[in-house]
Structure 1
Amino acid sequence: MGVATTRSQLCLKRLLAEPQENLPKCKLARLETSHSASGLSSYLTPTIPAPKSSPSQPPSRVGPYLLFVSCEREETYRAVHTSTQKQYTCQVLPLRGFQERLAAYERIGKHDNICCLQDVVVGQDNLYVFLPDHHGDMHAYVRSRKRLDEEEAGRLFAQMLNAVVHCHHKGVILRDLKLRRFVFMDQYRTRLALLGLNDSVVLHGNPDNDFLRDRHGCPAYVGPELLNNGNGSYSGRAADIWSLGVSLYTMLIGRYPFQDTQPAALFAKIRRGVFSLPSGLSPQAKCLISCMLRKVPAERLKASELLMHPWLTTNPCVQHHNVHKTHHNQNTMQNKQMEDDQVVPTWTEKQ
């Protein structure tokens, strides 16, 4: 572990142990955004896109960092350290309840496919979490490529799965899991990492008890149990697996398995849980997707079980990347009319 990472971990431990009212607040320019920094928007409520930066608009300053407005997603900024000129990704979180949001970083520790916390700045009203700079996210990549071939998809999905296996093993439920949360750490777009854990839930007590009650997630990726159970509880790990299934389907086919421009119609399709798989997919790929997109949560494979699926274990590209590395180290189209559907839609900014 590098010196910077060690320092950030020590800082994180101090922040988690210190009462919030005792923390020093830095003075900074208020960020000009058109929406709140809550990060807890319901999946039923679309958010307003962040304003694009203007060349003449000066950046805001947060401690030793300059923040530039990002057009990628809400409350995420490109940051530059004024002394080292090193670039980072900054996520803005509400100060209230920040310790619960940061707890996942301490629980997770260091992992090749999860972006480590680099620094934290406590502001007057918000918390500024600094993560490594990246080279774009999977949502944008799939949108630009239309769809991925099975070898490339297998290599990238294996890394996504490694991150989820590690989180689940550590008792962290990711909840708002989607393609946009995975970013490329190299310019050649071969190495993926999960960016941001602030939407996660850290399990306490019995690690097998992963039942949650709050509804949180992106419309296209939310599981049917979150729509059918009313206020009842659901398995957080199983919900993450459903979202992984939606992700792999989208990577291979270029559109969501369930989609509609109207949220009510979209949720009705998700509740039915009926989707089609093109004949061009290999039987192993179809099987893996079906193992995740099962309407009954208890019938879905666990993340660690997915690692052993033939589509991953018999794919030479995936084997070269060593898909089982994390598991062991942690001990444990159709036709022209559908052409528009072949591109990942952007009808809601929460995708």
Structure 2
Amino acid sequence: MAETVAACHEQGIVLRDLKLRKFVFADPQRTTLKLESLEDAVVLDDPEEDLLQDKRGCPAYVSPEILRAHRTYSGRAADMWSLGVILYTMLVGRYPFNDSEHASLFAKISRGYFVVPEILSSRGKCLIRSLLRREAGERLSARDVLRHPWLARDPRNELPPRAAAASYRLVPDVDSEMDVDCV
């Protein structure tokens, strides 16, 4: 996923509505992922300048700066926030910010406070915290994520045991209202 985001960013493409369900398995063995579509992506006029103004994204994945009224934001940094939400959701089994009311959900996202379960490795926690930074300029880039120690092959980076991870599962079904684009 991070490789796909990095490749898009290097080509001047900001994905804008990045979320877990946009990635699908590309083979029957389920070993390769692909980005299903670029339907919400924007090709930047100047690849060095990624400031956007539109408010686009799935509520559970939207970054704090997108929620701020009448401001431009870094499209790449917003994508990295969404990648952090994806990583957290995959490792923990629930969204880092969750609420049935959009206003409450957006308030939680704006505060940027979330809890990373102790069952995750220290490197995994570090990567999540490096992506889910309230300040967009403090987030890792897609290339930085690819260089992060958590992605290096190391036994300390192992996923939590299934039984421990299952106790945290609170991710709504795919058809949930949380997956509706309404920002």
Q: TM-score range by the shorter chain?
A: 0.7 to 0.9
Aligned to 1:289: 128
Query: How much does 1:290 deviate?
Result: 0.6
Across the aligned residues of Structure 1 and Structure 2, the Cα RMSD in angstroms comes to 2.1
CA distance in 1, matches of 2:169, 2:110: 22
Aligned to 2:170: 343
Aligned to 1:304: 143
Asked whether 1:203 is paired with 2:30, we answer no
SS in 2 for 1:165: helix
Asked whether 1:274 is paired with 2:113, we answer yes
Aligned to 2:160: none
- Which consecutive residues of structure 1, in runs of 5 or more, have no partner in the other structure? 1-159, 319-332
Deviations 1:201-254 (A, max 9, x none): 00013x2210000000000000011112x1110000000000000000000000
Aligned length: 172
Asked whether 1:221 is paired with 2:87, we answer no
- Greater relative contact order (Cα < 8 A, sep 6+): 2
Pairing of 1:73-152 with structure 2 (within 5 A): none
CA distance in 2, matches of 1:342, 1:306: 25
Question: Could you tell me which of 244, 256, 264 is aligned with 2:95?
Answer: 256
CA distance in 2, matches of 1:350, 1:283: 33
CA distance in 1, matches of 2:15, 2:94: 22
Question: Could you tell me which of 9, 12, 20 is aligned with 1:179?
Answer: 20
What's the TM-score once normalised by structure 2's chain length? Answer: 0.88
Where do 4+ consecutive residues of structure 1 move more than 6 Å?
none
Structure with a larger share of its residues in helix: 2
SS in 2 for 1:193: strand
CA distance in 1, matches of 2:82, 2:52: 16
Q: Who wins on radius of gyration, i.e. which is larger?
A: 1
SS in 2 for 1:286: helix
What's the TM-score once normalised by structure 1's chain length? Answer: 0.47
CA distance in 2, matches of 1:350, 1:191: 26
Deviations 1:15-53 (A, max 9, x none): xxxxxxxxxxxxxxxxxxxxxxxxxxxxxxxxxxxxxxx
Question: Could you tell me which of 24, 29, 35 is aligned with 1:194?
Answer: 35
Aligned to 1:165: 6
- Which consecutive residues of structure 2, in runs of 5 or more, have no partner in the other structure? 158-162
Deviations 1:171-204 (A, max 9, x none): 0000000000000011221110001111100001
SS in 2 for 1:307: helix
Deviations 1:108-143 (A, max 9, x none): xxxxxxxxxxxxxxxxxxxxxxxxxxxxxxxxxxxx
Instruction: Name the aligned partner's letter for residue 186 of structure 1.
Output: D
Identical aligned residues as a percent: 53
Instruction: Name the aligned partner's letter for residue 180 of structure 2.
Output: K
Instruction: Name the aligned partner's letter for residue 211 of structure 1.
Output: L
Structure with a larger share of its residues in strand: 1
